Amino acid sequence: MTIDTLPAPQRAEAVRSMFGSIAGRYDRANSLLSGGMHHLWRRKAVRMLASEKDDRVLDVCCGTGDLAFALADALGADGEVVATDFTPEMVHFANEKLDGRPSKGGTLGFQQADATSLPFEADWFDSATVSFGIRNVVPPAAGLAEMARVVRPGGRVLVLEFGQPDGWFFGPLFRFYSKHVMPLIGGLITGQRAAYEYLPRTSLNFPAGDQFVSELLEPAGLSLVEKVSLTNGIAWIYLAEVRT
Ligand SMILES: C[S@@+](CC[C@H](N)C(=O)[O-])C[C@H]1O[C@@H](n2cnc3c(N)ncnc32)[C@H](O)[C@@H]1O
């Protein structure tokens, strides 16, 4: 039985334990497997969110914090980013990176929290983001509903997530890379080959583009502002507004 076929409570726990087991090598694997592309995608996400300098921004499923750092850098001294993840090891490595970071932009703090039950009041944030996290949340709809709850009406929710690349050449090439190369390299770097089989497998099966918008975004009380396909559809950015 694979993680994605487990019943919901066991699946969430298995996801947490899988991310705990790769947390220490997560950044290295990301950079190698994406050829550095993930930094460009995150920068694009920060530009699209277009925060005001004094915004209060939430980043859920923050992992080791790369998006949260980029979000904080774009804020002024009165701005704040709160970044959360339910895997303690991820929060630990994010905090290690925070310790060595020159202070610039807004304040930034990491804390452990489950995206399906966020410990924040309704309407507390101006915006919320999630990068490469929502498809791992059990279930994704509950994570999006929580993001919509804690962001004020009219505020923004941004999702950066993998899709299924298209094109007669690029599509099959990427599927070969995902199925064979990614598990091999990810497994060598982290010692956890199964995690790097799970990650591309769930990406290839997760709704993307219009399907993501109609099946997950809109039902969570979010209205699409803009969606952008990145690198032939390997990833997507969805920018939405919390309905008033
Ligand atoms: C692929 S990583 C993405 C990390 C980071 N956002 C990035 O862009 O590199 C997915 C993250 O989602 C977290 N996660 C999965 N389910 C979660 C949940 N229910 N609540 C909070 N975090 C969750 C995992 O612990 C993991 O750190």
Sheet holding 151-162, edge to edge: 107-112, 80-85, 56-60, 125-131, 151-162, 235-242, 222-230
Asked, for residue 176, whether it belongs to a domain, the answer is: no
Q: Name the least confident of 7-11, 54-58, 95-99, 136-140.
A: 7-11
Asked, for residue 194, whether it belongs to a domain, the answer is: no
Its domain, for residue 94, covers 3-24+35-164+207-242
Asked, for residue 195, whether it belongs to a domain, the answer is: no
Q: Please count the structural domains in the chain.
A: 1
List all residues 6 or more positions away from 24 whose beta carbon is below 8 Å from its beta carbon.
89, 93
Kindly report, residue by residue over 137-164, the tens digit of the pLDDT: 999 999 999 999 999 999 999 999 999 9
Asked, for residue 45, whether it belongs to a domain, the answer is: yes
Asked, for residue 173, whether it belongs to a domain, the answer is: no
136 lines ligand 1 (CB under 6 A): yes
Mean pLDDT of the chain: 95
Confidence of residue 168 (pLDDT cuts 50, 70, 90): confident
If one residue of 18, 87, 206 were mutated to test the ligand 1 pocket, choosing by the most ligand atoms within 8 A of its CB, it would be 87
Atom of ligand 1 nearest to the CA of 59: 6
Q: Which CATH number belongs to the domain containing residue 228 in this structure?
A: 3.40.50.150
Asked, for residue 222, whether it belongs to a domain, the answer is: yes
Phi-psi region of 210 (alpha: psi -120 to 50; beta: other; left: phi over 0): alpha
Kindly report, residue by residue over 193-226, the tens digit of the pLDDT: 999 999 888 988 899 999 999 999 999 999 999 9
Token pair of 116 as six digits: 């399906």
1: pLDDT strictly greater than 80? no
Supply the residue whose CA is at minimum distance from atom 13 of ligand 1: 61
Asked, for residue 11, whether it belongs to a domain, the answer is: yes
Asked, for residue 125, whether it belongs to a domain, the answer is: yes
